[in-house]
Structure 1
Amino acid sequence: MMLELLWPFVAVLAATYVILFGFLKKINEWYYVSKLGKKQHPLPPGDMGWPFIGNLWSFLRAFKSQDPDSFIHNLIKRHGPTSIYKTHLFGSPSVIVCCPELCRKVLTDDEHFSLGYPSSAIKLGGKKSLHGVQSSEHRRLRRLISDSINGHQALALYIDHIEDIVIPSLEELSTMNRPIKFFTEIKRLGLKVIAQVLFGSIEDSVLSSMVKCYTELFPGVFSMPINVPGFTFHRALKARKKLVKMIGDEVDERRAKASVLADRKKGMMDLLMEVENDKGE
């Protein structure tokens, strides 16, 4: 008797869930599409997801899985192989393109397209970072720094730093008599290389602290920008604050002891500190 009463209740509950949330999705899509007003061309297929969060949860779930392309594959399965879809990610209505021709058009057409990043990436990178500035300012900063960090002299420095980290780390891993998580170890190794290339000679304790902070910061780039304790973005902001202080302290120390530290290995930061603008400053 109890089972006979339970099944109709579960069915009604499931139907209510589907109808309610399906209705919310429709309302959400109507809201964003109606804001566009009269359109010259129809929008591509797709959906705007849930109110406020859009399709971010399904995107992050795919991104963190063993098959990150599953998000795109799901769009193709649901809406057909059109190579262009509407969606809602990182707090903004978005259009996804996923074929080489369209991607090339977006990335090379500066007249109709400009750089844009999730607000979480902008806040964590900083308003003055290369992905935080636009047009002429972006080109000016890129011109100032690109030669100093990409030239033959710089690349020769980086090779030494990479060898100093990679060779001992791989030798240490090879001597372990227990299984290791390859991806985790290689990611940790990559972060050490980045820090070493950036700073050159640096104390091991500082290097380890920076790697730890960057490990906490990176997941925040692909997260909802919710600055509340317990959320990924909040932890990333705290890690960024620590990183900024450590980097600032390192820059101040190198400026104060430039002559004393002349013999140590240089890194990208040393090359950047030597860059001069058009006025020789």
Structure 2
Amino acid sequence: MEPAVSVTILLLFLPLLFLLIYRRSFKRIPPGSLGIPIIGQSLGLLRAMKANTGEEWFRERVRKYGPISKLNLFGTSTVFLHGPAANKFIYTCSEKLLANKQPASIRRIMGEKNLLELSGDDHKRVRAALVSFLKPETLKLYVGRIDEEIRLHLHNHWYGNNEIKVMPVMKTLTFNVICSLLFGIERGPRRDTLVKLFENAMEGVLSVPINLPFTTFNRSLKAREKIKSIIMDLIHEKRKKLEISGISSNEDLIMSLLSMKDQSSDSPVLSDEEIVDNIVVVMIAGHDTTSVLLTFLIKLLAEDQTVYKYVLKEQEEISKGKALEELLSWDDLAKMKYTWKVATESLRMNPPVLFTFRTVLQDIEYGEYIIPKGWQVIWASCMTHMDENIYPEPSKFDPSRLESQATKPPPYSFMAFGGGPRMCPGYEFVRIETLTMIHNLVNAFTWKLSLKDNIFGRNPMPVFNQGLPIQIELKKSSAEM
């Protein structure tokens, strides 16, 4: 064949070759649609969350596309992953591939320096600082103070009432415990202002990040700035207190973080900005997640008398070994094994957080697909909680599920507290607060649901439409105290 003819044929086939290579590469991007620019599928997901059909929304994607698919959420090209293998991949993936970058709405409201945003050495440093205060060895010293705070809450919000709305009062409880124990904020105008600001900030955590007047996102950003100002004032006040005393302090979380110094340079371990952003995250996580858990527990104990009787028996046994008005101790909490199993099973069936995000730092091969650099990954890790292949009869409440080897789920199937190096640092704090509240509640009150149907949606965490009203009755023994 003449050279000129060969070159001509090659030139004719080059475009076809490039097209085949392009199409082959394009096919490796997960299936699905990116939808309308910026908006994508955001509104559909938010509507499903509000109607408490968010998990079904994701399951429909799995039925349509399989365990990996592409979409557009909150202005960013996104890949959705599903299943225990996805959970393991995300929680063990190198931080050089997947970064803890959240959507713009979450990042701007919670702050750039919070634990959910950081990776590598910065994540380890900030996490270590938080864990130093939230570890069991430290928290065991605060059990009595948490018990006091809960008893005060019951007297202020439960005693003397015939009916209460559980979710609002649980939010009040968890907020007050956090203010007292973690931040050292006394009751008064500052605390009252903060609770309203945090509620406003949470409303825009999942929203299209367009900062225009009168939008939810705009209101949340304004609330965030006011929260930052209040926390900075607290930091300055507590720093002066430390300078006067001249000694480090674990009086509360802020004091503990301010007291930490780098051993080699004697400089602060955390900057003021890092303290502010992580105080915001701790407040949101501790305030909302624990209040959700307690609300569902109270609902469950009203609906399942068998479980209620076992919990009551366990808590009454603990009370019998204590003097009148004696506060709970760390050893008492260790005896509440059945109660914590009930709480754990409640978390399996009603997880406070439905999904989480990561950002892709470089192209990632996952199965037969490529997840492109710059995209974000979303996964609903708790969807495995209701997988009948993992949990037989997943809709059945069974506190013994997680204890026996026969029914114990495989790794990365129970994700209520995260996994691996991203395990929730506040786990012990949640456990102490939950067990202490249930102990006081079942010993002092009986209750029943006021409504037959108690509907809830997610915004982004569960919110009961009517607040879960219950009719309460003070036990005779408590009334005589």
Give yes or no for the alignment of 1:239 onto 2:239.
no
Residue of structure 1 aligned with 2:252, choices 255, 267, 275: 267
Residue of structure 1 aligned with 2:238, choices 246, 254, 262: 254
Any idea what SS the aligned residue of 1:221 has? Answer: coil
Residue of structure 2 aligned with 1:175, choices 159, 167, 180: 159
Give yes or no for the alignment of 1:134 onto 2:129.
no
Residue of structure 2 aligned with 1:48, choices 3, 19, 34: 34
Query: CA deviation digits over 1:251-275, x for unaligned, max 9?
Result: 1112223447x9x992111111111
Asked whether the 8 Å contact 2:38–2:74 carries over to 1, the reply is: no
Distance 1:159 1:212, change over 3 A: farther
Asked whether the 8 Å contact 1:200–1:265 carries over to 2, the reply is: no
Pairwise CA distance, 1:96: 1.0
Q: Aligned pairs, how many?
A: 242
Residue aligning to 1:88? 72
Residue aligning to 2:183? 199
Pairwise CA distance, 1:84: 1.7
Cα RMSD over matched residues? 2.8
| Aligned amino acid, residue 99 of structure 2 | S
Query: CA deviation digits over 1:177-213, x for unaligned, max 9?
Result: 4543322332333233333332125242211211111
| Aligned amino acid, residue 37 of structure 2 | P
Asked whether the 8 Å contact 1:220–1:236 carries over to 2, the reply is: yes
Matches within 5 A, 1:149-228: 149-175=133-159, 177=161, 179-228=163-212
Matches within 5 A, 1:24-63: 39=25, 42-63=28-49
Asked whether the 8 Å contact 1:158–1:267 carries over to 2, the reply is: no
Give the TM-score taking structure 1 as reference length. 0.75
Distance 2:130 2:182 in 1: 14
Structure 2: give runs of 5+ residues left out of the alignment: 1-21, 268-481
Residue of structure 2 aligned with 1:114, choices 88, 92, 99: 99
Distance 1:212 1:124 in 2: 15
Distance 1:158 1:124, change over 3 A: farther
Query: CA deviation digits over 1:60-114, x for unaligned, max 9?
Result: 122233343132133234x15x222211111101111121111211221115322
Residue aligning to 1:105? 89
Any idea what SS the aligned residue of 2:99 has? Answer: coil
Q: Which moved more, 1:214-223 or 1:120-129?
A: 120-129
Distance 1:137 1:37, change over 3 A: farther
Distance 1:181 1:241, change over 3 A: same
Asked whether the 8 Å contact 1:196–1:207 carries over to 2, the reply is: no
Pairwise CA distance, 1:161: 4.5
Distance 2:124 2:97 in 1: 17
Asked whether the 8 Å contact 1:161–1:200 carries over to 2, the reply is: no
Any idea what SS the aligned residue of 1:102 has? Answer: helix
Distance 1:178 1:147, change over 3 A: closer
Pairwise CA distance, 1:159: 3.1
Give the TM-score taking structure 2 as reference length. 0.46
Any idea what SS the aligned residue of 1:180 has? Answer: strand
Asked whether the 8 Å contact 1:157–1:267 carries over to 2, the reply is: no
Distance 1:170 1:67 in 2: 34
Matches within 5 A, 1:65-76: 65-76=51-62
